[in-house]
């Protein structure tokens, strides 16, 4: 026969177990417990920790409704419900469906708000903003794994997928969705102008010359939902269409045609790809060939062709100048033949050029003797 003395503080509660079974909840104060032949056990709980986590939770919920009503805040959620638990007005936990919990009364004001998951998948804007704010507090909210939070930037959009199906398109802003009882995913999409590079494309021209081309294109989404409903990966589809368009533009033309008009590739690729992408919600803004790389032997041949062409042009120009010079001399000779004065002036001009190269000249017999002497020297 023993008597056990137990003291419970004002911020505590005690659970008395007799031979392992629940007997009662001990209030603050000193308790004298008569054990007799039984084994007594007292478990003390601090009310600061509001959650009552014990193996007797289900027993109390089922068999001790009066005790539960007096000492605990009772929470029982079904399969289509979630809970928001507040302590002293502050959100502290998101409760999943089918939760069965007990929270101590007396020190902390515990309140649970029940949410019907069947009514809406999206959290209210006020609750979404509250979840964002709670991330800045020292004490984070428990159970956030049950919520998908998304921030869509101003230049983008987001596709909401629910159970593998596209639900809707989200604009810029903050959103939150319940993940309980469903699969929820969000895919961010950039609505700005984007660039794609198609590099290292080996293509044969119509005259069997292998070219390596690099192409750059800019594009944007015109209808996001249309693009993602029709295409698994829109960007990859655009890349393939640019490849096909490039092959169509180069493979049907000779090397000379491509070198004479490089813009024809841009025009053909743009026209072909735009027509194919129009029904997929993708807008092609611009296409441009950055590089056309010729094989090594073809570079040598083209260099020789260019050199021969330039050399021929130079010969034509030289012959044209020689012809013009000869024609000018012939005209001069005809003028001097009919005009002795002109002939005399030409002789004096010739004498002047010769005299520029001679330091000293002695003239005997007059100017006619000098001119006759020069003619004899020739």
CATH number for position 207: 3.30.479.30
Q: What's the whole-number average pLDDT of the chain? A: 84
- Region 195-211: mean pLDDT is 86
Question: What is the pTM (predicted TM-score) of this model?
Answer: 0.69
d(CA 328, CA 306): 33
Quick: pLDDT tens for 72-122: 999 999 999 999 999 998 899 999 999 999 999 989 999 999 999 999 899
Residue 306 lies inside a defined structural domain of this protein? no
Domains contained in the chain, number: 5
Taking residues 19-26, what's their average pLDDT? 92
- pLDDT computed for residue 1 by the predictor: 61
Cα–Cα distance, 5 to 14 (Å, whole number): 13
> Does any domain span residue 320?
no
Name the strand (E) or helix (H) holding 228.
helix 224-230
- Condensed to tens digits (0 to 9), the pLDDT of residues 309-335 reads 656 676 777 778 778 777 777 777 777
| Sign of the dihedral through C-alpha 327, 333, 336, 342 | positive
Q: Are residues 13 and 71 in the same domain?
A: no
Q: What is the pLDDT of residues 282-314, one digit of tens each?
A: 999 999 888 888 765 655 555 555 555 656 676
The count of residues in the chain is 378
pLDDT at 15 over 90: yes
In terms of domains, do 243 and 283 share one?
yes
Q: Give the 3-state secondary structure of residue 55.
A: coil
pLDDT at 187 over 90: yes
- pLDDT at position 301 is 53
> Are 26 and 70 contacting, i.e. CB atoms less than 8 angstroms apart?
no
Percentages of the chain per state (helix, strand, coil), in multiples of 5: 40, 35, 25
Of the candidates 169, 190, 211, which is a domain's last residue?
190
**180: domain range?**
120-190
E strands within 105-209?
110-116, 147-152, 156-162, 165-170, 173-178, 184-190, 194-204
Q: What is the mean pLDDT of residues 165-185?
A: 93
How confident is the model over 231-241, as a mean pLDDT? 92
**Domain identity same for 131 and 167:** yes
The first and second tokens of residue 22, run together, are 């629940």
CB 253 within 8 A of CB 236: no
User: Does residue 34 lie within any of the structural domains?
Assistant: yes
304 within some domain? no
């Amino acid at each position: 026969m023993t008597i056990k003395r137990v003291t419970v503080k004002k911020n505590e509660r005690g659970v008395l177990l007799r031979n392992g079974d629940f007997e009662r909840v001990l209030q603050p104060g000193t308790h004298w417990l008569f054990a007799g032949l039984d084994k007594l056990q007292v478990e003390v709980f601090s009310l600061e920790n509001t959650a009552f986590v014990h193996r007797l939770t289900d027993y109390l919920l089922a068999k001790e409704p009066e005790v539960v009503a007096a000492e605990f805040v009772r929470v029982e959620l079904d399969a289509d419900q979630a809970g928001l638990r507040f302590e002293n007005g502050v959100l502290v936990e998101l409760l999943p469906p089918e939760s069965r919990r007990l929270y101590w009364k007396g020190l902390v004001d515990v309140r649970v708000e029940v949410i019907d998951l069947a009514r809406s998948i999206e959290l209210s804007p006020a609750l979404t903003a509250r979840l964002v704010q709670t991330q800045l507090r020292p004490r984070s909210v428990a159970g956030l794994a049950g919520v998908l939070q998304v921030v869509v930037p101003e230049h983008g959009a987001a596709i909401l997928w629910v159970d593998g199906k596209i639900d809707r398109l989200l604009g810029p802003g903050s959103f939150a969705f319940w993940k309980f009882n469903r699969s929820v995913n969000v895919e961010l999409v950039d609505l700005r102008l984007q660039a794609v590079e198609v590099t290292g494309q080996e293509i044969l021209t119509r005259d069997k010359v292998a070219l390596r081309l690099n192409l750059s294109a800019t594009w944007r989404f015109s209808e996001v939902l249309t693009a993602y409903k029709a295409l698994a990966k829109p960007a990859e589809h655009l890349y393939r269409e640019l490849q096909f368009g490039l092959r169509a533009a180069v493979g049907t033309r000779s090397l000379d045609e491509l070198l004479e008009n490089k813009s024809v590739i841009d025009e053909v690729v743009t026209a072909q790809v735009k027509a194919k992408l129009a029904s997929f919600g993708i807008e092609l803004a611009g296409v441009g060939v950055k590089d056309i790389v010729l094989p090594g032997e073809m570079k040598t041949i083209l260099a020789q062709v260019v050199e021969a062409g330039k050399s021929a042009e130079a010969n034509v120009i030289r012959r044209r100048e020689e012809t013009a010079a000869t024609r000018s001399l012939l005209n001069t000779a005809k003028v001097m033949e009919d005009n002795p004065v002109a002939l005399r002036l030409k002789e004096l001009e010739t004498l002047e050029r010769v005299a520029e190269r001679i330091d000293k000249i002695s003239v005997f017999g007059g100017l006619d003797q000098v001119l006759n002497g020069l003619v004899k020297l020739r």
